[in-house]
Amino acid sequence: ITDPFAQSYALSAIAGAFFVLDSSAAMELLEELLQVAQQITEPSSQSRALSSITTTVRQMGDEDIARTLLGQLQPIAQQVRDSFILRDLAIFHAFHGDWFTALRILRTCLESDRLSAFATILTYHAEQERPQLIEGPVVLDVAATVEPSGAVQLQVTLQSPDRDCDRHADWWEVLSEEGDLLDRYLITEPHGFEKPFSTEKVMKVDVSQPIIIRAHFSAPVNSQTYYSPPSGIYYGPSTVINSHYSTQAMKGRLDQLDSFRSIRLSPYFASQVEGPGDQPQDCSGEGGDAA
Task: Kindly report, residue by residue over 234-252, the tens digit of the pLDDT.
Answer: 445 456 677 899 999 999 9
CB-based contacts of 270: which residues, under 8 Å, 6+ apart? 61, 175, 179, 180, 181
Q: How far lies 44's CA from each of 34, 125, 270, in Å?
A: 15, 32, 34
In the CATH hierarchy, which fold is given to the domain comprising 4-131?
1.25.40
Give mean pLDDT, residues 122-133. 93
13 neighbors 227 (Cβ within 8 angstroms)? yes
Q: What pLDDT is recorded for position 285?
A: 43
d(CA 84, CA 47): 9
In this predicted structure, the answer to whether residue 30 has a pLDDT above a threshold of 80 is no
Task: Report yes or no: 97 and 67 within 8 Å, Cβ to Cβ.
Answer: no
Residue 152 φ then ψ, to 5° = -115, 125
pLDDT tens by residue, 86-115 = 999 999 999 999 999 999 999 999 999 999
Crossing angle of the two packed helices 23-38 and 4-15, in degrees rounded to 10: 170
Full DSSP string of 108-148? TS-HHHHHHHHHHHHHHHHHHH-GGGSSS-EEEEEEEEE-T
The DSSP call for residue 234 is: B
Q: How far apart are CA 55 and CA 264, in angstroms?
A: 17
Please provide the distance, in angstroms rounded to a whole number, between the alpha carbons at the two ends of the chain.
Answer: 51
Q: What pLDDT is stored for residue 231 in this prediction? A: 45
Please state the domain extents for the chain.
Answer: 4-131, 133-289
Residue 65 has pLDDT above 70, yes or no: yes
* Residue 144 pLDDT grade (very low, low, confident, very high; cuts 50, 70, 90): very high
Minimal CA–CA distance to 90: which of 112, 105, 72? 105
